[in-house]
Chain A
Amino acid sequence: MSEELRPILETRGLGISFGGLKAVQDFNLRLYPGELAGLIGPNGAGKTTVFNLLTGVYVPTEGSVMLDGEVLNGKKTHQFVAAGVARTFQNIRLFRQMSVIDNVKAAFAKDIKYRMGAALFRTPAYWRAEAAMEQRALDLLDIFNLKEYAGALASSLPYGQQRKLEIARALATDMKVLLLDEPAAGMNPTETAELVECIGIVRERFGIAILLIEHDMSLVMKLCERITVLDYGQTIAEGGPEEIASNPRVITAYLGESDGEEDASHA
């Protein structure tokens, strides 16, 4: 996290208003290569809105998003992905009627160079590209122990495996930054432990930057090196896990004010 490193993902004064409602304002984030940062906040604080801004689902009304120095404002979601930002969703969004391996292959779409003619007439270029992709997809599934399910329908996987497949699919886009939206939501402790292991593998193998939204505080405190706290669309705190855990504004945001004066004096 040294300052001489250039941030891979950076936002400057990012904000969006829906009519009169300022859902997110003046959001500044610097994510460095290899870092795992957390984004937390009470319900409705604007966390998912931030993700939608960072992936081009929403166009920001102010500020900018930069990936590796390139300004991505106003681009479409698939262009964000092409630039190197991939994400998972709060409620799992898989291609449910497709096989597990096809879910991963679909995310290779931008990497496959063969054209329509090659696909329709099954030229050697098609076979080469498909074979290479098959291998890449299997390798990726292997990392997450999903190889045995390769031919199964995505919707037939158990919940924890679906979450893993979603992460595998995001990794298939060959991204630089991975955004995980509440990956542990709805998981039992065993599945959460598996997920933590899985995130560890991702960091180790791919060395990418990860931004994580999560409600499970023990998970966030354990995993994240740096945490940003949002409330009512504004950043109220930023820092390491211990710092955040003892920050009075954060405690107020989560638990409400107990007496008022004590917290206000700190803020």
Chain B
Amino acid sequence: MKKTVKRGYIVNSAVIAAVYALCIVLAATLGREGSFKLILAPSIWQCCYLILLASSLNLVLGFMGQLSLGHCGFMAIGAYTAALISLAFQRAGAYDDKSGPVFLAILFLCIISAGLLAAAFGVLVGIPALRLKGDYLAIITLGFGLIIENVINNLPFAGQNGLAEGSAAASLYATGLGFGSTDRVTYLWAGIGVTIISVALMFMFIRSKYGRAVRAIRDDEIAASASGINTGYYKVLTFAFSAFFAGIAGALYACCNSSLSTASFSFTNGSILNSTFVVVMVVLGGMGSLTGSVVSAVIMFILNYQIANGAWVDALPGFIQGVFTYPMLVYAVVLIVIIMFRPKGIFGTYEFSILKTPGDLVRLFKRQGRGKKSAGKEAAAQ
């Protein structure tokens, strides 16, 4: 049993590494082409941080069963940390042309410190907040999201109107990472790599004693503590672990924008970058499935992009176009449909695995085939 598990890890890692290498090669060859540079590369980058955001929230919401509505607050912390650190380095003259090993080292330093600071806030918020459950925890984390937005707005060095190109964080965005201007795809490999490693680490977390403890807390907190699990410790740990990756998502977000403002992370923000929509992503993909979070983050991104930019929207009747100017309505409908027809989300608690998934798919289709046949018989009997 242990051997097949180990083999599974090796095969899956090898396949993921191969796919990753392929992506990088494609990016390098397509990198000079206009549409890739202008549309696909930024889209992939955005998918990366949405994936991180959704799967990190899934740890708290899906695996631990605690509703947190302030996830974008941690993302904001990460984004501002990354931007301010890069700015400091640039002012100190550590780099100027945004390439080379020094810049790369600074980039990774930004990403890691963004995660660490967000995790530190995760501990600070988690210790008092996680004594509460359900609605009360939702309210307190919602409050945290609002507080963080206002605190950042009032920090003297963060800029009341946000950090913008030409002022504070211009350093990171203007050319480097580089969706500012000339060389858009230079560091795409770093973004994808960070995302893959982060999701892998989250997967390792849930498939260890930590994950078992966390799922035990979700299923029955009283029984968990009666089984010797220090529920308070594991809850705060998981909250901080989740905040760490939300912080990294924030750093990636900061890297692909030429300006940074807290409005991007607020509740009134109509795009998909908003704590409630992250919850929608997690529910859509399946609470308790990292695969689900990855897939649903991509689905939500595509939906969002198509509603805003899709050519097919122009061909629709006028009133539907009218609806599409309020994308919130569309996401609300998506959520209602999911809850009605597939309350466990697309994947439920299923996780993708190269070795197992093909067999599972075959079984699924067989079962559905049988289901249809028996339905036919019933109809005939009537």
Contact = CB atoms under 8 A, between A and B. Distances in A.
A98 B216 contact: yes
A106 B220 contact: no
Contacts of B205: 119-120
A54 B223 CA distance: 15
B212 A98 contact: yes
Interface in B42-66: none
A164 to B, nearest CB: 15
Interface stretch (A36-44, A88-96, A219-227): A88-96
Nearest to A89: B223
A57 B226 CA distance: 9
Nearest to B288: A97
B2 A119 contact: no
A114 B209 contact: yes
B264 interface: no
B297 to A, nearest CB: 22
Nearest to A105: B212
B142 to A, nearest CB: 26
B326 interface: no
Given A119-B210, A134-B1, A94 B201 contact: no
B224 to A, nearest CB: 7
B213 A109 contact: yes
Given A96-B220, A106-B216, A120-B205, A173 B210 contact: no
Interface residues of B, number: 29
A127 B9 CA distance: 12
Contact of A127 (B1, B6, B201, B226): B6
Contacts of B227: 81, 86, 106-107, 109, 169-170, 172-173
A95 to B, nearest CB: 4
Q: Choose among B205, B208, B226 the residue with the greatest number of A CB atoms under 10 Å from its CB.
A: B226
Contact of B220 (A94, A119, A130, A170): A94
Contacts of A86: 226-228
B225 A116 contact: no
A81 B212 contact: no
A95 B63 CA distance: 12
Interface in B198-220: 201, 204-205, 208-210, 212-213, 215-216, 218-220
B223 A94 contact: yes
B328 to A, nearest CB: 32
Contacts of A266: none
Q: Choose among A97, A102, A169 the residue with the greatest number of B CB atoms under 10 Å from its CB.
A: A97
B229 interface: yes
Contacts of A120: 201, 204-205, 208
B349 interface: yes
A126 interface: yes
A77 B223 CA distance: 10
Interface in B366-381: none
Contacts of A110: 228-230
Contacts of B224: 95, 106
A119 B208 contact: yes
Interface string A103-115: 1011111101010
A77 B216 contact: no
A142 to B, nearest CB: 15
B210 A77 contact: no
A18 interface: no
A94 B222 CA distance: 10
A205 interface: no
B213 A106 contact: yes
A152 interface: no
Contacts of B216: 95, 98, 103, 106
B226 A109 contact: no
Given A77-B226, A127-B2, A122 B9 contact: yes
B223 A97 contact: no
A93 B222 contact: yes
A75 to B, nearest CB: 11
A116 B218 CA distance: 20
B225 A78 contact: yes
Given A102-B212, A106-B212, A120-B205, A76 B225 contact: yes
A52 to B, nearest CB: 10
Interface string B1-39: 110001001000000000000000000000000000000
A24 B6 CA distance: 53
B153 interface: no
A87 interface: yes
A119 to B, nearest CB: 4
Contacts of B213: 106, 109
B223 A93 contact: yes
B271 interface: no
Contacts of A77: 225-226
Contacts of A106: 212-213, 215-216, 224, 227, 229
Contacts of A94: 219-220, 223
A127 B2 CA distance: 8
B204 A97 contact: no
Contacts of B6: 127
12 contacts: A78-B228, A81-B225, A93-B226, A94-B219, A96-B219, A106-B215, A109-B213, A114-B209, A116-B210, A119-B209, A120-B204, A126-B208
In the complex, the 9 A-B pairs of residues with the closest C-beta atoms, listed nearest first: A119-B208, A81-B228, A93-B223, A95-B219, A107-B227, A77-B225, A106-B216, A110-B228, A106-B212
Given A93-B223, A112-B209, 19 more contacts: A57-B222, A77-B225, A78-B228, A78-B231, A86-B227, A95-B216, A95-B224, A98-B216, A102-B215, A105-B212, A106-B213, A106-B215, A106-B216, A108-B209, A109-B209, A119-B210, A120-B208, A134-B2, A173-B227
